[in-house]
Amino acid sequence: MDEFSVIERFFTRPPTRNDVCVGVGDDAAVVNAPAGHQLVVTTDVLVAGVHFLESVDAHSVGYKSLAVNLSDLAAMGATPAWAVLGLVVPSVNVLWLERFSSGFFSLAERFDVDLVGGDTTRGPLTVAVQLGGWVPHGTALRRKGARKDDYVYVSGTLGDAALAMRNRDGALDLSTAEAAAAARRLDYPEPRVELGARLRPFASAAIDISDGLVADLGHLLRNSKVGAKILLEQLPLADAYKSRVGEIGWEPALSTGDDYELCFTAAPEHEFEIKALADELEVNVARIGAVIDGDEIIFLDPKGQRYEPRAHGYNHFAEE
Ligand code: ADP
Ligand code: MG
């Protein structure tokens, strides 16, 4: 099967959105920008052996390649609209492409995203997705904007992906059901797209947690030129994690990453609205601390003692 048949068979779907004028099949895509909106665009590259194991189901690779980008747009408060897919594969493996494409489109359909173009070449397995979306002019959520006394919030639960990885490595002893739930969170993270968009009126700053809370909250705070006090007791943990905190400690929730939850700040006066929004969307939103002056994150354990995280998050170019 040649390149064009691959594109035609696995990646050509008629546009479904009315703002997409030209999709796959021309030299480039043409998209209408809605009046009064700004384009928000992001890209994430997944490399086999670095971001995912070659043995993982291609369905999850397709899903996750879009999910991580959706998570970035969610953190900006943007509504996703279209994607471009750069795909590098070592050979045409019909089964792999079938699984990949169905994972990708399962999520694209759920969030009303059209795949409008891409590029397909041969080489070491790599998936680069670019995602565009819209935000009303001037309303994008930024990493800067957090202010002293704002509350710090996190969506969902933290550390599940880390638990799944440890379990896979044989370092943990999860039950079958716990292992399945954790693996699902690693392979099929839920991008908090609606939460992000609905937080635009309330959040003072936002970021998505891809490299762990310590690293990503750190980025938010540095950009906002403030610090934070975080209560470890308030971290939202899945039951499987909660019952093992004594054994595995706080690090999986703080430093491993791959959670794709939102971390955001908001003035205390919005607490009720945020809680109501969380209830409406049926998303867990936990208040984990508050913004303080300074430039550090102070973690307090349940006894009120200061806790110093061991690792500072995943960093591709960190020196060993
Ligand atoms: P060009 O030579 O102009 O780059 P290509 O032959 O690479 O065009 O691609 C043909 C069409 O297929 C273009 O519209 C391109 O955007 C689209 N395309 C190529 N690869 C993919 C892919 N993996 N997913 C979606 N669209 C793709
Ligand atoms: Mg091309």
State in Å: Cα 129 to ligand 2 middle. 14
**Which ligand 1 atom sits closest to the C-alpha of 87?**
23
- Ligand 1: lining residues by beta carbon, under 6 Å: 7, 11, 24-27, 85, 87, 115, 117-120
Amino acid letter, 130: Q
Are 206 and 135 spatial neighbours (Cβ–Cβ below 8 Å)?
no
pLDDT tens digits in sequence order for the chain, 320 residues long:
888 999 999 999 988 999 999 999 999 999 999 999 999 999 999 999 999 988 999 999 999 999 999 999 999 999 999 999 999 999 999 999 999 999 999 999 999 999 999 999 999 999 999 999 999 999 999 999 999 999 999 999 999 999 999 998 888 989 999 999 999 999 999 999 999 999 999 999 999 999 999 999 999 999 999 999 999 999 999 999 999 999 999 999 999 889 999 999 999 999 999 999 999 999 999 999 999 999 999 999 999 999 999 876 666 666 54
Three-state SS string over 280-298 comes to HHCCCEEEEEEEECCCCEE
Are 238 and 286 spatial neighbours (Cβ–Cβ below 8 Å)?
no
State in Å: Cα 42 to ligand 1 middle. 19
* DSSP-H helix ranges across the chain: 3-6, 58-75, 94-110, 160-168, 176-187, 193-198, 213-224, 239-242, 245-248, 251-255, 271-281
Amino acid letter, 67: A
